[in-house]
Amino acid sequence: MSDTYEIHGCEEVDTAPAGPLTLPLDQWHRARGGRMVDFAGYWMPVQFEGIIAEHLWTRESAGFFDVSHMGQLYVSGEGAEAALEAALPIDLSTLTLGGPRYSLLLNEDGGILDDLMVTRWSTGFYLVINGATKWDDIATLRERLPDAITLNHLEDSALFALQGPKACEALEPLVTGEQPLSALTFMRGAAFKLGDIDAWISRSGYTGEDGFEISVPAENAAELADLICAQPQVKPIGLGARDSLRLEAGLPLYGHDMTDTVDPVSADLLFGINKRRRSEGGFPGADVIKQLIANGAATRRVGLAIEGRMAAREGAKVLSRDTEVGTVTSGGFSPSLERPIAMAYVPVALAGPGTPLTIDVRGRKLAASVVPMPFVPHRYHRKGAA
Amino acid sequence: MTRYFTKDHEWIAVEGSEATVGISDYAQSQLGDITFVELPGEGSEVSKGDSASVVDSVKAASDVYAPVSGKVTVANAALEDQPELVNSDPEGEGWLWKMTLSDTAELDGLMDEAAYQAFVAEL
């Protein structure tokens, strides 16, 4: 037998001749039985006890994810706000202190170079970018930002995510700050002490669950990982479950569900281009985006529910009445729904919920239909919600 | 009954010209949680090295190759509802199919259990 398909992203090996690099928790993962794979140029744990068990644990309790391969950047200097607005389609005038906001790094053709989070700190902006794209992103941003603006790569910081319905009760006793951790609502962040170490914590993540993203000094990463994972609600979770969780949440993954040839309208990510910027423009790709908003895109990212138990994975062709109409960009078995699900790009005319389609998986035709995303409801702790 | 293994991590337990085929414990541990098994049709002819079955795990879909040529007599229907049997008991209840061998000489190139364990230890 042989592996013919791999977890999303695992094949994205950095071409750096040194081979995979190690992250601050490398030994920590190995000591806990993490099965390490080369991911985005780093050794990362794909699983600990098993993907399904880890996935379900995160949905029921709290999962600890090391996402230190992601890039953490700090943009500062006089005029940083205007400079960032010229580089990204974000409206920073409505971004208050501490709240991360989703944005997109676009090329001049409106293609997506990366998706990212931007947070206003008191003295500048904190950005979190994808691991596989971070070196290209940094080069792009340096090119777009004037010399007077400083772009720091926070390589001495590790990044964790704690996700799941018990994430708050697990983390709250471990932190102190100007406000209790539970006072943060979805997409709000603040500085805290985690143990006695400085940490930046935001109520955000990429699993569809309530939870937090936690930036800490790399030198304290292992002790803080120990501290968090000593909580009975928490288990370490690998990349495998991270992928199945975000797929169920309908969240697109860069390099798979979005690429530099996919525009934000087709990708259903228009919310990453803030309203004022849509009308005012002034960012790379603005003209193309304006046209797409006015005229509509030809294709759209949709969710597919697949009959039976065989999974359709990235690259599988999508058919309508025996004609190829699209391609699966992410797919797999949903541990929560116990059935295969997928994301695909299809013509807008076939993007309506209930549209019957067929997926060709190695010559076998799987019946599928378009369904609304998320596949599994989000359970974010939104402001104003109970 | 003699059990042989392939370098592709299938096992085949042979009794005369009848055999049972599955994937090794090493293979299931590498694949992780198995969510679906596509089995060969009963009565179908398979040739040594052909993809006869597909094992789907959460992370990957993998072909299972026929270790030898012959005719499939029975597919393990229990796997339709319990594909996880391949994880829990890969060399027992998690067998994939039974077959009649067309050429027992094809077994000569396969490894016995000791040779396979040595092979896996090197991986």
- Say yes or no: domain A298-386 is CATH 3.30.2010.30: no
Query: In this predicted structure, what is the pLDDT of residue B111?
Result: 97
Per-residue pLDDT at A5: 39
Residues 6+ apart with CB under 8 A from B16: none
Both tokens of A176, joined, read 């102190």
Q: Which residues of A41-55 are buried (b: 16+ CB within 10 A; e: fewer)?
A: bbbbbbbbebbbbbb
Q: Looking at the predicted structure, is the pLDDT value of residue A4 above 80?
A: no
* Residue A247 and residue A51 in contact, taking contact as beta carbons nearer than 8 Å: no
Burial class (CB in 10 A: 0-12, 13-18, 19+), A363: exposed
pLDDT at A386: 53
CATH topology for the B2-102 domain: OB fold (Dihydrolipoamide Acetyltransferase, E2P) (2.40.50)
Record: contact B55-A1, CB cut-off 8 A: yes
pLDDT of the residue at A15 = 45
Residue of chain B nearest A6, judged by CA positions: B60
Within 25-84 of A, beta carbons closer than 8 Å to B belong to: 46-47, 50-53, 55
Residue B57 phi, psi (nearest 5): -115, 175
Question: Which pLDDT does position B1 carry in this prediction?
Answer: 84
Contacts of A245 (CB under 8 A, 6+ apart): A55, A58, A59, A63, A163, A206, A207, A208, A209
Q: How far apart are CA A235 and CA A222, in angstroms?
A: 14
CA dihedral A283, A288, A290, A292 (to 10 degrees): -140
The full set of domain ranges for chain B reads 2-102
Chain B positions in Cβ-Cβ contact with residue A335 (cut-off 8 Å): 33, 58
- DSSP assignment of A298-320, as one string? SEEEEEEEESSS----TT-EEEE
pLDDT in tens, B94-116: 999 999 999 999 999 999 999 99
B33/A52 Cβ within 8 A: yes
Mean pLDDT of chain A: 94
SS3 B106: helix
Percentage of chain B exceeding pLDDT 90 = 96
Interval A21-50: pLDDT, tens? 999 999 999 999 999 999 999 999 999 999
∠ Cα A127 A129 A130 (to 5°) = 165
Inform me whether the C-beta atom of residue B9 falls under 8 Å from chain A C-beta atoms: yes
Q: Predicted confidence band at A18 (pLDDT cuts at 50, 70, 90)?
A: low
Between CA A237 and CA A233 the distance in angstroms is 12
Q: Following CA atoms A132, A136, A141, A147 in sequence, which dihedral angle do they give, to the nearest 10 degrees? A: 130
**Which among A40, A111, A108 has a CA at the least distance from the CA of A259?**
A111
Termini Cα distance of chain A: 51
- Up-side HSE of residue A66: CA atoms within 13 Å toward CB? 33
Question: Sign of the C-alpha dihedral, residues A127, A131, A134, A136?
Answer: negative
d(CA A72, CA A68): 9
Paired sense of beta strands B45-46 and B70-75, if any: antiparallel
β-bridge mates for residue A334, sequence order: A339
Mean of pLDDT values over A191-216: 98
pLDDT for residue A1: 61
N- to C-terminal Cα separation, chain B? 27
Per the structure block, which two tokens stand in for A238?
């690998």
Q: Which among A1, A52, A239 is the top mutation candidate for probing chain B, defined by the most B β-carbons within 10 Å of its own β-carbon?
A: A1
Distance from CA of A242 to the nearest CA of B (A): 11
Residues from chain B that touch A52, judged by Cβ atoms under 8 A, are 33, 58
- Alpha carbon distance A106, A187 (integer Å): 22
Look at residues A38, A32, A45 and name the one whose alpha carbon lies nearest to residue A19.
A38
The answer to whether the CB atoms of A1 and B63 lie below 8 A apart is yes
Candidates A4, A52, A364; nearest CB to B58:
A52
Q: What is d(CA A322, CA A324) in angstroms, rounded to the nearest whole number?
A: 7
Taking the CA of residue B63 and the nearest CA in chain A, the distance in Å comes to: 5
CB of B66 within 8 Å of a chain A CB? The answer is no
Tell me if B36 and A309 make a contact (CB, 8 A cut-off): yes
User: E strand or H helix at B45, and its extent?
Assistant: strand B45-46
**Residue B120 scores a pLDDT above 60:** yes
Domain ranges of chain A: 26-70+156-248, 298-386
Tell me how many residue pairs between chain A and chain B have CB atoms under 8 A apart. 72
Read off the amino acid at residue A313: R
Could you tell me the CA-to-CA distances from A12 to A67, A71, A161, A232, A241 in Å, in that order? 16, 16, 22, 34, 18
Percent over 70 (pLDDT), chain A: 95
- pLDDT tens-digit readout, A87-115: 999 999 999 999 899 999 999 999 999 99
Q: Is any Cβ of chain B less than 8 angstroms from the Cβ of A165?
A: no
Distances, alpha carbon A76 to alpha carbons A60, A68, A73, A121, A156, in Å: 40, 22, 10, 10, 17
Query: Considering only residues 80 to 109 of chain B, which have any Cβ-Cβ distance to chain A shorter than 8 Å?
Result: 83
Q: Is A332 part of the contact surface with chain B (CB cutoff 8 Å)?
A: yes
CA distance A166 to chain B (A): 25
**Hey, is B81 helix, strand or coil?**
helix
Residue located via tokens 């729904």: A337
| Four-CA torsion A244, A250, A255, A259, nearest 10 degrees | 170
Dist CA A82 CA A91 (whole Å): 10
pTM (two decimals): 0.93
Number of helices (H) and strands (E) in chain A: give both, helices first: 9, 21
Q: Do B35 and A46 touch (CB under 8 A)?
A: no
A335 CB within 8 Å of a chain B CB: yes
Whether the per-residue pLDDT at B8 is higher than 70: the answer is yes
| A238 contacts A57 by C-beta, under 8 angstroms | no
**ipTM score assigned to the predicted complex:** 0.86
Among partner residues B9, B38, B60, which is closest to A6 by beta-carbon distance?
Answer: B60
The pLDDT value recorded for residue A384 is 81
A56 to chain B, minimum CA–CA distance in Å?
13
Q: Nearest C-alpha of chain A: how many angstroms from B99? A: 18
Amino acid in position B91: E
Are the Cβ atoms of A310 and B56 closer than 8 angstroms?
yes
DSSP SS3 for B66: coil
A26-70+156-248, which class in CATH?
alpha beta
Looking at CA atoms only, how far is residue A86 from chain B in angstroms?
40
